[in-house]
C-alpha cells in the first residue's frame, strides 16, 4: 500500500502531526479499509524522505486513538471503526444586539473592596512561596477540613480578635459562606428542623436553606435586633443571625438579647448560626466580642470569611462547629473533599503567620472609616433632611431612605445617568407587606473623591 501525503515542513505544523492527520482522514473517509496493512516505519520513512522517529510518532498517536493496531509479525493494521456519528447541523449564531446602556461612572455596589490598597506584592510573594511547598502537599485534594496550619492560624486569630476559644479541629474551611451553609444543611434535618431567619436577612443564605428544602420562619427585627420573644414562639431548632452587624439594617445585637438568644438555644436544644461577615470594620468603638465567645453550652456555629476583610477572589470562609455537630460532620461529610485550593490555603497561612493579615486589617479599618465618613458627609450636604441614614456604625455599606421617593424609581434614574445604586428590597421576605424603600450604598470599592462626586450627581439626577 502506497501513502502519498503532502507534507510541508514550512507550515508550522509538525511533520508527524501532518502525517497522522492524513492517515486518520484516509481511514475515516473509507480509503483505508479494515485490515489494510500500513507500510512499515522504515519503508514509509524512506518513501517520504522523513525520519523514522516522525513516522513512529504518527503511528503511535494513531495506535493510541484506536485507528490502527500492531500485530506481531504483521505490522500496523487498520482497525474497524464504528459507524460515524452524523454531525449536528451547524447553526450560525444569530447576532443579538445588546441594549445600549450608558457607561458606568460610579458604582456604589456593596461587597467591592479597595483595590488601590490591596497588598498585591505581599500576597504574590506568599503565593510564590506556597508554590515552593512539597508537590505531594500541593498536588492533591488537601485535608478534608482544610489545611491544619491555616486552621491553627484562624484559631489564634479568633481568640485575640473575637474572644473565641476553640480547637483547630473544630474549624472547617470552605469556599464561601453559602457553601458552608450548604454543609450545615446536611447536619440538620430538613424534615423536622425549622430554620428561623432574621427578616430582613442575607438573601443568598435564605436561598441555600430553601434549596435544601427547609421550612423557613421569618423573625422580625426590633430597633436593637432580633425579636427574641417572636423566636421563642416558633418551633424552630436553628436560627441564622448576624449579631455584630445585621445585614442589611446594620444594628448590633446588645448583650441582653445575646444572653436571651443563648438561653433559647439551650432550652430548645437548638443551634445558632452566627454569620460574622465584617465585624473587623467597626467605627467609633472596638469590635465587640462574638456571640460564640459567650457560648458556654456549645450551641453556636460561628462563620467567618476573608471576602470583606481581605478579598472575595480567594473564595475562603470558615466555620467553628460545636462538638455535637462536629461528630455529625465526621459521620455525614467525611467523604467530601476540601473545596479551597491547597495553594491558596498555604499562601493565606503565610500571610497570617507573618503578620501581614493583622496589619492589613488595621490599615483598611482606617481607610474604610474615611470613606464611610466621606459618604455620610456627602449625603448630609447634598440631601439634608430629605435623606435618612441607617446602619452606619460598621461594615462597608449603609442604607439610605429618600423622603417621598421609591427605591425602584431612584435606582432607574441613577442607572440612566451611569450611576449604580441598589435597592435593599431583596433582603426582605414573607408576607408582611411591601419592604421599606431603602437604598443600599456600598463604599468599599470607591475612593473618597468619587464618593462625593457620585452623591452630588445623584442629587442632580434625582432632582431633589
CATH at 272: 3.40.640.10
Q: Which grid cell is 417?
A: 445617568
Determine phi and psi for 397, rounding to 5 degrees. Answer: -155, 165
pLDDT of residue 95: 72
Residue 451 counted as domain residue: yes
Residues 193 and 320 in one domain: yes
Q: Give CB contacts under 8 A, 24+ apart, made by 214-218.
A: 214/185, 214/188, 214/190, 215/190, 216/429, 218/429, 218/430, 218/432
Q: Is 311 found in the same domain as 424?
A: no
Domain range spanning residue 377? 106-113+359-462
104 Cβ partners below 8 Å, 6+ apart? 418, 419, 420
pLDDT tens string 133-189: 888 888 888 899 999 999 999 999 999 999 999 999 999 999 999 999 999 999 999
164 shares a domain with 192: yes
Q: Into how many domains does the chain fold?
A: 3
Residue 98 pLDDT: 62
Same domain, 228 and 256: yes
Count of Cβ atoms closer than 10 Å to residue 392 Cβ: 18
Note whether 364 and 344 are same-domain residues.
no
Reduced to 3 states, what is the DSSP secondary structure of residue 94? coil
Q: Are residues 339 and 371 in the same domain?
A: no
Examine the domain organization and report whether 325 and 403 are in the same domain.
no
List of the chain residues with pLDDT < 70: 1, 83-91, 96-101, 287, 432-434
- In residues, how long is the chain? 464
Give yes or no: residues 158 and 296 share one domain: yes
Query: SS3 for 321?
Result: coil
263 located within any domain: yes
Distance CA 405, CA 386 (A): 10
Same domain, 201 and 54: no
Cα–Cα dist 185/456, whole Å: 45
Structure-derived torsion over alpha carbons of residues 304, 224, 209, 145, reported in degrees to the nearest 10: 20
The whole-number pLDDT of residue 183 equals: 97
pTM recorded for the entire structure: 0.83
The H or E element containing residue 422 is strand 422-423
Amino acid at each position: 500500500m502506497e501513502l502519498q501525503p503532502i507534507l510541508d515542513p514550512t507550515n508550522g505544523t509538525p511533520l508527524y502531526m501532518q502525517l497522522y492527520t492524513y492517515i486518520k482522514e484516509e481511514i475515516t473517509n473509507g480509503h483505508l479499509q479494515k485490515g489494510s496493512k500500513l507500510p512499515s516505519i522504515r519503508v514509509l520513512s524512506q518513501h517520504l524522505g522523513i525520519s523514522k522517529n516522525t513516522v513512529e510518532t504518527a503511528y503511535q498517536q494513531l495506535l493510541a486513538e484506536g485507528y490502527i493496531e500492531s500485530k506481531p509479525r504483521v505490522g500496523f493494521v487498520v482497525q474497524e471503526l464504528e459507524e460515524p456519528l452524523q454531525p449536528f447541523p451547524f447553526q450560525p449564531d444569530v447576532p443579538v444586539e445588546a441594549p445600549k446602556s450608558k457607561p458606568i461612572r460610579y458604582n456604589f455596589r456593596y461587597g467591592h473592596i479597595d483595590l488601590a490598597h490591596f497588598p498585591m506584592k505581599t500576597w504574590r510573594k506568599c503565593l510564590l512561596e506556597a508554590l515552593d511547598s512539597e508537590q505531594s502537599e500541593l498536588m492533591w485534594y488537601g485535608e478534608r477540613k482544610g489545611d491544619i496550619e491555616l486552621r491553627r492560624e484562624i484559631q489564634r486569630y479568633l481568640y485575640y480578635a473575637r474572644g473565641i476559644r476553640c480547637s483547630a479541629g473544630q474549624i472547617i474551611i470552605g469556599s464561601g459562606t453559602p457553601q458552608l451553609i450548604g454543609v450545615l444543611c446536611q447536619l440538620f434535618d430538613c424534615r423536622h428542623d425549622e430554620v428561623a431567619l432574621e427578616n430582613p436577612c442575607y438573601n443568598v443564605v435564605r436561598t441555600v436553606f430553601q434549596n435544601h428544602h427547609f421550612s423557613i420562619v421569618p423573625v422580625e427585627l426590633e430597633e436593637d435586633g432580633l425579636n427574641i420573644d417572636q423566636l421563642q414562639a416558633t418551633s424552630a431548632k436553628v436560627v441564622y443571625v448576624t449579631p455584630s452587624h445585621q445585614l442589611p439594617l446594620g444594628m448590633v445585637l446588645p448583650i441582653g438579647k445575646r444572653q436571651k438568644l443563648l438561653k433559647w438555644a439551650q432550652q430548645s436544644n437548638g443551634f445558632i448560626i452566627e454569620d460574622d461577615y465584617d465585624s473587623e470594620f467597626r467605627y467609633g468603638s472596638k469590635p465587640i466580642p462574638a456571640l460564640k465567645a459567650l457560648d458556654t453550652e456549645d450551641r453556636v456555629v460561628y462563620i467567618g470569611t476573608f471576602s470583606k476583610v481581605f478579598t472575595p477572589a480567594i473564595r475562603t470562609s470558615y466555620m467553628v462547629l460545636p462538638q455535637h455537630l462536629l461528630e455529625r460532620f465526621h459521620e455525614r461529610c467525611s467523604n467530601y473533599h476540601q473545596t479551597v485550593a491547597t495553594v491558596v490555603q498555604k499562601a493565606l497561612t503565610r500571610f497570617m503567620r507573618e503578620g501581614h493579615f493583622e496589619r492589613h486589617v488595621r490599615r483598611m479599618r482606617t481607610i474604610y472609616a474615611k470613606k464611610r465618613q466621606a459618604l455620610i458627609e456627602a449625603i448630609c450636604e447634598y440631601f439634608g433632611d430629605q435623606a435618612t441614614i441607617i446602619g452606619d456604625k460598621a461594615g462597608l455599606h449603609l442604607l439610605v431612605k429618600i423622603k417621598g421617593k421609591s427605591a425602584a424609581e431612584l435606582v432607574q434614574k441613577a442607572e440612566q445617568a451611569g450611576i449604580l445604586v441598589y435597592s435593599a428590597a431583596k433582603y426582605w421576605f414573607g408576607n408582611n407587606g411591601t419592604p421599606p424603600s431603602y437604598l443600599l450604598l456600598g463604599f468599599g470599592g470607591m475612593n473618597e473623591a468619587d464618593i462625593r462626586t457620585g452623591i452630588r450627581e445623584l442629587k442632580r439626577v434625582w432632582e431633589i
